Amino acid sequence: MSLLRTIGLYGLLIFLLWGCAVDKRPDQYTSAMTVSSSLSAHASHFSQYSELQKALKYRNLSVTDAGQILPINQSVCNAALFYRITQTTLPQYIGKHQDLLSGFYIDVAQVNRNWLVVDTDNDFSTIGNQQELTKVAASLMPKMMRQDVIIIRPVPGLDSASLIDLAQTAKTLFLGHRLQFIVDKQHFALMNNLVVEPLSTAASQSHAFIAATEQTSDARKRMIMTMDSFDVADATAIVVDAQPLIACMQANKHAILSPTQKVTAAPLKVDTVLLASILPTDADFNRLAEQQQLLSEGKYLSINNQQLSYHVGNKPLSNRCSLLKKGDEDYQYCIDRQQDGDTVITTQKYIMKIQK
Amino acid sequence: MKQSKLSNHAKIWMLLGLFTVYVCLELSLNILLIDMYAQPIQAVFGEHRITAERLELFGRTLSGFGLALAVATFIPAKQFNLLIRDKSQRVTSNTALTPKTARLINGVFRPLLLVIVWALIIPCLRIAVDGVVDTTSNDKKLGAVRAIVYKEAYLAETVAIEGFPQFDEIVSDPKRRDLMVALIPSLAYFSSGFNQLIESNLENMADQFLLNRQEEYFIKEAIPRIRQFDRTYKQELASYQKASKGYLEALKKENNYSLIERERVALQNKANDKINNHWKSYSQALLDADNYKKEVAEDSTNAIRKGYSSVKDDYFSSNCNSACRRQLKVDFAQYLTTLKYDTGESFGVYLTADDITVAKMLKSKYYLMAMFERGRINYIHRVYGIPEDMEYEEYNQSSQALKIAVAQFKEQGVKVADNWSFNDERALHQAIEAKYKGHAKALWGEYRKSSRFAVAKPRLDRVGFARLPQVTQYAQKTLGSYYLAEFSPSISERKYKKLWLNKQDNISFIKMVTSTAATAAFSPGGSMFMLGKDAVKLAVIPPMSIAASLLAIFLLFIKLAVYLWPKNKGYLTLAMLAGILAFALPVGASIANKNAYHTMMGNFAKAFSTVDPFDKFFTVGFGYVLDIENGIFQTYRDLKVVRLAGKIIKYQPPYQADDTEDTPTEVIAVHDEHLLRSYDDFAYNWLSFLPKSLGLGEVIKPFDTNITVLKQDMNVGAYMGVRLENEKVVAVNMPNFMQNSDIGLLADQKFFYKPDVKGLVEEFSSNYDDPQYWLQLSQGNIGKQSLMQKLELNMAAYLNSNASTLTLLNTLNNKGQNNLILLELERNKKYRCFVLGVVDAQMISDSINVNFFDYQELPKCKAVL
């Protein structure tokens, strides 16, 4: 009996000492995160665009609810995009622009102690449409993203007091947003004191600067550039308005990816989806109706508004040597030098003759 | 009487013996001279210089002996009366010589005279030759230069005569070449027809030589440079193309939205897997914790088990209170937790003091097993970072899972913010973009840093690359003076060579020294004074010596005949027979040969020696001399005696093995000071007053700088010698440039009072060989006084006023470069400057044979006239 008790006691002890094996295997494993293919915020979810959207995605493009074709995001442009505001009405995609834009750009002038947003050129030479800054801000603010940056270019020649006033005004109007002011070098310190990032009005090694007029275009309204270590100026930001896509394509020749399909013969049915897949990398994607027309002629419309043949567009001048033939002027550059200089060409005996 | 007859025979034999020796020596001289002067001048002045000098001394010694012998034997006995004191013994015209007198005259006076005359003749011949050379007119010197040019060109087989293939055949036949080459300068020099032929062809000939040489030089110097360029170019092109490709690939990734999306999806899926795998391996590890390290617990010899036993012993010892017991547990827990194998692998449990059971009831094994399992479970929770009570569903959305995902992204180079959440796909997309962003640019930066051409832009094709300014710059740098704008990375070497050759300035040394305007420079002090001397020596002396030694042999035979005729007809016959056998037969055979030189030279004379009868006669005579010489030369050139004499005369450099730079001339001179040479040099210096006293040679100090002005057409515009003192031009000499022309006399000094010195000088240098120019000068009429002096004075003043040219002259003078060649550039009166060393005959050879004849161009010389 005592033996039985002893065994029982031992058994209990062992049981107590021993932890039991733990089995934490779940019945079923699930994914921690749901993986979905996302679209850019500004891309349309309309079902009528779904096919086009898919085709465009492979070209770094997207279509908005308004039917405008835009870069799928700003990073394909190799530069940040800023939207230039000149009036209170804004494009439909503003408000869903987090992928497309880094912020907004405004040219500001002072009239009667009022700050106005003006429609002007890169040199501030002619001033068109004007809007009060407060009104613009009021219409813009609800649509801004948290990370949006505001670049303000005050009209040149403002004194410090005015600049301070403008900076304070902008700070209150665009509360919580990063501000950048394009000013002369002499105002850099002032800007830094106001906790406003200064950009230079002239080429600079140390600061980003606004590019000269020659580098702008209808689509690319302003350019913000920086110098790299080889003293080559690179665009870091492009200011766009109505034609962000063309501006983007002008800034980066590789923004649009190569066609995913090739046309060998005129297709039976030409639709926008097909165009999205076959248009060359320098085509104007926002004029698809015209492109549709031109395709039957084997042509397309480039962003420079030129009609080009598909043949040319599909074969960028990556290697002229493959096209050149013997006899072409540049052909000589495509061949290796013939090492035939060793053979003597001149040695002949000189024949003396009686000179008459 | 019998004895006297015997001694007579012995005398004749001795004479014949001496005669043979003399003939052999003359023969050796003759043949060695041909051997020597069949060499290019380069060799004569270079490696064989000492041998040539010795040969010349040998020749003079030998000929001196012949001449002295003639003098000594032909002087009438009467002339020796002066030396005889005893009047009774004196020679009188009507009485026969007394034996005593005869002995005195023939035994003492004549041999003495022979020795003295011989000793005098040796240096005098040298002086005479110098005299002849010095008095040779400049025109003749120019003729000699042409003759040498022809000889060198002929020897180098770079020239032929139209209608005379025989000449070419001879020079390419090693058996016949030497003789012809050694003697041809004399024909070219003496035959005015031939000399004119050379003169009229020289310009084209010089161009041709120059072209040949330029091509050779191009091949030697430029082709390696071109290939060096090609190597670098190809490397650079390859590295550019590689970098460009890499850049494009990187750029595609940077810009490809869908590709980045694909990567995002892949990353997320992988992170999901990883999160699940973590749990899987965690839950499995928990299962495996059962019986963890059971074998250790069961092994009674194991150190852990023993350790446990000793802990137990201490624990239950009477003097261990509760604190001690607590400490024992802490220590043992610590021990097991930190326990590591030798490999560094942890024992794999985590225990605290509370987990340690010390009891006596069961075997240690059971306690240990229990502790190991518990410790293992603790350990797994800690290692996997999962709390004991966390379940899978909770874990899946926990910060632990998020950390695993973030770590997984990081592993792939994708950095998301720490506060990233599972559903923030945009941030993840941007993080992937950032991973690629700037990569292309960075790659390009690396390429630019590591490559030579450091092209700023990628994506250029071969055509674009070939046209880069970097390529041009590198080509300019590599090719240096061989660079032409037409150079491209692909132009064929042959084509480029042609272009280059066409662009070369044909500054031909030969053209320069044979220009008719050059005669002036042959005057003493002129830049070509040395050249003229060398040329005359080389064109005239060797062939003359050869002919003279031939003549000497012939004359000696006659003399021997004259001597033997009255004495012994038998010996005479013997000697003559030997002579005929030795000389007449080979010579006759040579003359009778159908390829005999005299027929060829006859034809040559018909074609070219049309100037005067002497010319024709000389040319044909030259043919006969060639035939005679040919007979002897071909028969005896390999005779042992000749070779032996050659060996003795031939200079062997004392330190053959030591072929460092300073061997050739300096060392040789020291080792060559033997008696005869020392005597010759001494006597030469001692007797050198002779020509001066005879008014033959004038010694003129060489100029500090000789200036040769070449006109645009590369013809010589002017020569002038400049003397400098204290960095100023003190005198300018234009050596006899109006020689052989009376046009100069027409010149009017009035002209030179014109203040426009510059214009005057310009006009002079471009027109001075134009007779019209001089005629125009003659319009004035005041006196004919030294045009040259005026010109020289004006030139000196002009050079002094011209700072840049004066500086140039001083610099050159300080460097010891005293030949300046100014090549007129197109239109403007500016010049390219070249410098030459001392102009001598060797340069002729160099300019025909050597790959490169160096006109050193002075960069930015700024000479203005």
What interface predicted TM-score (ipTM) does this complex get? 0.83
Among A5-9, A258-262, B41-45, B632-636, the minimum mean pLDDT is found in A5-9
pLDDT value for B569:
79
pLDDT value for B598:
86
State the amino acid at position A4 in one-letter form: L
Domain, as residue range, for B11: 1-38+156-190+527-651
A120 CA to chain B: closest CA distance, Å? 32
Tokens representing B419 are: 């506060």
Tokens representing A120 are: 């002007």
- Among B205, B286, B425, beta carbon nearest to A24: B286
- pLDDT band for position B107 (50/70/90)? confident
Is B98 a domain residue? no
pLDDT value for B657:
44
Rounded CA separation B62/B122 (Å): 9
Q: Over pLDDT 90: what percentage of chain B?
A: 6
Looking at the structure, tell me whether residues B723 and B846 fall in a common domain.
yes
Does the pLDDT value for residue B436 go beyond 80?
yes
B52 CA to chain A: closest CA distance, Å? 30
Report the SS3 class of residue A91.
coil
pLDDT value for B779:
43
- pLDDT band for position B670 (50/70/90)? very low
Looking at the structure, tell me whether residues B712 and B832 fall in a common domain.
yes
- Among B366, B370, B397, beta carbon nearest to A32: B397
In b/e form, how buried is each residue of A312-339, taking b as 16+ CB within 10 angstroms?
ebbeeeebbeeebeeeeebbbbbeebee
| Residue B43 contacts residue B602 (beta carbons within 8 Å) | no
Looking at the structure, tell me whether residues B549 and B466 fall in a common domain.
no
B742 CA to chain A: closest CA distance, Å? 27
pLDDT value for B830:
66
Q: Stretch B680-696: mean pLDDT, rounded?
A: 70
* Residues of chain A with C-beta less than 8 angstroms from the C-beta of B297: none
Q: From B206, which residue of chain A is nearest by alpha-carbon distance? A: A350
Highest averaged pLDDT of the listed ranges B352-366, B682-696, B697-711:
B352-366
- Distances from the Cα of B459 to the Cα of A254, A315, B455, B627, angstroms: 11, 14, 10, 77
- pLDDT band for position A223 (50/70/90)? very high
* Residues of chain B with C-beta less than 8 angstroms from the C-beta of A10: 361-362
pLDDT value for B3:
55
Looking at the structure, tell me whether residues B549 and B639 fall in a common domain.
yes
pLDDT value for A85:
93
Q: What are residue A302's phi and psi, to 5 degrees?
A: -90, 170
Q: A59, A321, A352: which to substitute to probe chain B, counting the most B Cβ within 10 Å?
A: A352
Does the pLDDT value for residue A126 go beyond 60?
yes
CB contact under 8 A, A333 and B463: yes
Highest averaged pLDDT of the listed ranges B204-213, B402-411, B799-808:
B402-411
Mean pLDDT, chain B, whole residue set: 77
- pLDDT band for position B490 (50/70/90)? confident
CB contact under 8 A, B466 and A10: no
Into how many domains does chain B fold? Answer: 4
Helix axis angle, B322-338 to B364-384, nearest 10°: 60
CB contact under 8 A, B219 and A341: yes
Helix, strand, coil percentages in chain A from 3-state DSSP, rounded to 5: 30, 20, 50
pLDDT value for A354:
76
CB contact under 8 A, B255 and A23: no
CB contact under 8 A, B268 and A35: yes
Model confidence pLDDT, tens digit, residues B522-577 = 776 667 777 888 888 888 777 778 777 778 778 778 877 877 887 777 888 888 88
pLDDT value for A7:
75
Q: Over pLDDT 70: what percentage of chain B?
A: 79
State the amino acid at position A312 in one-letter form: V
Q: Higher model confidence: residue B99 or residue B151?
A: B151
Does the pLDDT value for residue B313 go beyond 90?
no
Looking at the structure, tell me whether residues B562 and B646 fall in a common domain.
yes
Is B149 a domain residue? no
pLDDT value for A245:
94
Q: What are residue A33's phi and psi, to 5 degrees?
A: -120, 140
Q: Interior CA angle at B491 toward B486 and B493, to 5°?
A: 105
Q: Stretch B243-260: mean pLDDT, rounded?
A: 86
Model confidence pLDDT, tens digit, residues B715-765 = 666 677 788 888 888 777 765 444 433 333 333 333 333 334 455 555 555
Among A69-78, B93-102, B367-376, B682-691, the minimum mean pLDDT is found in B93-102
* Residues of chain B with C-beta less than 8 angstroms from the C-beta of A75: 254-255, 430, 433, 437
Does the pLDDT value for residue B816 go beyond 90?
no
Rounded CA separation A84/B71 (Å): 122
- pLDDT band for position B74 (50/70/90)? confident
pLDDT value for B480:
86
* Residues of chain B with C-beta less than 8 angstroms from the C-beta of A31: 272, 276
CB contact under 8 A, B362 and A255: no
Q: Over pLDDT 90: what percentage of chain A?
A: 44
Mean pLDDT, chain A, whole residue set: 86
Tokens representing A301 are: 């419309």
* Residues of chain B with C-beta less than 8 angstroms from the C-beta of A338: 492-494
Is B435 a domain residue? no
Q: Stretch A229-246: mean pLDDT, rounded?
A: 88
Is B138 a domain residue? no
Partners of B857 in the beta sheet?
B834
CB contact under 8 A, B423 and A330: no
pLDDT value for B691:
61
- pLDDT band for position B700 (50/70/90)? low
Q: From B370, which residue of chain A is nearest by alpha-carbon distance? A: A18
Report the SS3 class of residue B382.
helix
Q: Higher model confidence: residue B272 or residue B311?
A: B272
Q: Stretch B860-864: mean pLDDT, rounded?
A: 57
Q: Higher model confidence: residue A287 or residue B785?
A: A287
Looking at the structure, tell me whether residues B280 and B406 fall in a common domain.
yes
Looking at the structure, tell me whether residues B482 and B558 fall in a common domain.
no
Is B278 a domain residue? yes
CB contact under 8 A, B265 and A37: yes
Does the pLDDT value for residue B210 go beyond 50?
yes
* Residues of chain A with C-beta less than 8 angstroms from the C-beta of B463: 320-321, 324, 330, 333-334
pLDDT value for A228:
80
Q: Stretch B27-52: mean pLDDT, rounded?
A: 83
Does the pLDDT value for residue A193 go beyond 60?
yes
Highest averaged pLDDT of the listed ranges B257-261, B342-346, B788-792:
B257-261
pLDDT value for A104:
96
| Residue A115 contacts residue A132 (beta carbons within 8 Å) | yes
Looking at the structure, tell me whether residues B803 and B839 fall in a common domain.
yes
Q: Stretch B844-854: mean pLDDT, rounded?
A: 61
pLDDT value for A240:
94
pLDDT value for B345:
84
- pLDDT band for position B20 (50/70/90)? confident
Q: Which residues have CB under 8 Å from A297's CB, separation 6+?
A: none
- Among A333, A340, A353, beta carbon nearest to B466: A333
CB contact under 8 A, B255 and A26: no
- pLDDT band for position B767 (50/70/90)? low
CB contact under 8 A, B362 and A31: no
* Residues of chain A with C-beta less than 8 angstroms from the C-beta of B256: 60, 257
Rounded CA separation A55/A73 (Å): 15
CB contact under 8 A, A21 and B287: yes
Is B641 a domain residue? yes
- Distances from the Cα of B460 to the Cα of A230, A234, A317, A319, angstroms: 18, 19, 9, 8
B263 CA to chain A: closest CA distance, Å? 11
* Residues of chain B with C-beta less than 8 angstroms from the C-beta of A355: 200-201
Does the pLDDT value for residue A31 go beyond 80?
yes
* Residues of chain A with C-beta less than 8 angstroms from the C-beta of B276: 29, 31-32
Pairing of strands B705-710, B819-824: parallel
Report the SS3 class of residue B70.
helix
- pLDDT band for position B267 (50/70/90)? very high
Among A14-28, B465-479, B550-564, the minimum mean pLDDT is found in A14-28
* Residues of chain A with C-beta less than 8 angstroms from the C-beta of B393: 26
Helix axis angle, B613-636 to B597-608, nearest 10°: 160
Q: B278, B462, B499: which to substitute to probe chain A, counting the most A Cβ within 10 Å?
A: B462
Is B758 a domain residue? yes
- Among A57, A234, A335, beta carbon nearest to B257: A57
- Among B215, B222, B230, beta carbon nearest to A345: B215
pLDDT value for B756:
44
Query: pTM of the predicted model, to two decimals?
Result: 0.56
Q: Stretch B13-21: mean pLDDT, rounded?
A: 84
Highest averaged pLDDT of the listed ranges B130-139, B399-408, B659-668, B809-818:
B399-408
B267 CA to chain A: closest CA distance, Å? 10
A101 CA to chain B: closest CA distance, Å? 13
Q: Stretch A101-112: mean pLDDT, rounded?
A: 93
* Residues of chain B with C-beta less than 8 angstroms from the C-beta of A21: 286-287, 289-290
Looking at the structure, tell me whether residues B281 and B309 fall in a common domain.
yes
| Residue B817 contacts residue B858 (beta carbons within 8 Å) | no
A139 CA to chain B: closest CA distance, Å? 26
Q: B402, B461, B486, B608: which to substitute to probe chain A, counting the most A Cβ within 10 Å?
A: B461
Looking at the structure, tell me whether residues B19 and B162 fall in a common domain.
yes
Looking at the structure, tell me whether residues B543 and B577 fall in a common domain.
yes
Looking at the structure, tell me whether residues B710 and B607 fall in a common domain.
no
- pLDDT band for position B656 (50/70/90)? very low
